[in-house]
Structure 1
């Protein structure tokens, strides 16, 4: 599997998620994190992301970007990358199971979503 997984988030969520994944699954050489702080604009984050994407595309066949929330600045910046390069794919709304599956499974992004969406469930036994 020759693809990079790039986590994007507001605050330190992406870095913390990377640490959590590696606590469970061991070091993931293909997993990267890019965090956005409150001083960053869409333009500056887009430039930073483009530089990271270009570096990763030198080493990997494709990149799956996992952004924290749809419509947020990290996701919007990632969408700009999709428009520039067909080797970049974006999924908005990540969770620990999705990131682990992305690192360990060679399936397509659509299959990743199908596989991991089943892991999100309501546990409480009461009916509402």
Structure 2
């Protein structure tokens, strides 16, 4: 079973990360995006997020900020229905690793967390 991956975040960040991932991997039918608009209420956002999750038995949610509205809305959806794992700190290495791997929901969540942390590096400056 292919587990859907829902990107939840502020503004256009989720769409931007999705676009970048698809540039690298090609189209991804399992990818869902839920952007929080500047005037949107947490309740409205939570309803949209819940609608995107639909009746999928399991969904991996990659949210931008711990404690932010997108992550908190996902937590509320998870509390009501179960079957969601939420990993915060959304970044491109995290998403790419999840999209190219198979595994159960817990494995994908652990992989996302590891790849997200591992993708944050200080690159050396090239010298001539």
TM interval, shorter chain, is 0.7 to 0.9
Q: Which runs of 5+ in 2 are unaligned?
A: none
Moved more, 113-122 or 4-13: 113-122
Give the Cα separation in 2 of the matches to 1:118 and 1:68. Answer: 16
Superposition CA RMSD, Å: 1.6
TM-score by length of 1: 0.86
Give the Cα separation in 1 of the matches to 2:115 and 2:89. Answer: 15
- Runs of 4+ more than 6 Å apart: none
- Please list, as runs of the form range in 1=range in 2, the aligned pairs for 1:49-64 lying within 5 A after superposition: 49-55=49-55, 57=56, 61-64=57-60
TM-score by length of 2: 0.86
Q: Which runs of 5+ in 1 are unaligned?
A: none
- Kept in 2: contact 1:5–1:31 (CA 8 A): yes
- Kept in 2: contact 1:46–1:78 (CA 8 A): yes
Give the Cα separation in 2 of the matches to 1:14 and 1:118. Answer: 20
Corresponding pairs, count: 121
In structure 2, the residue matched to 1:33 is 33
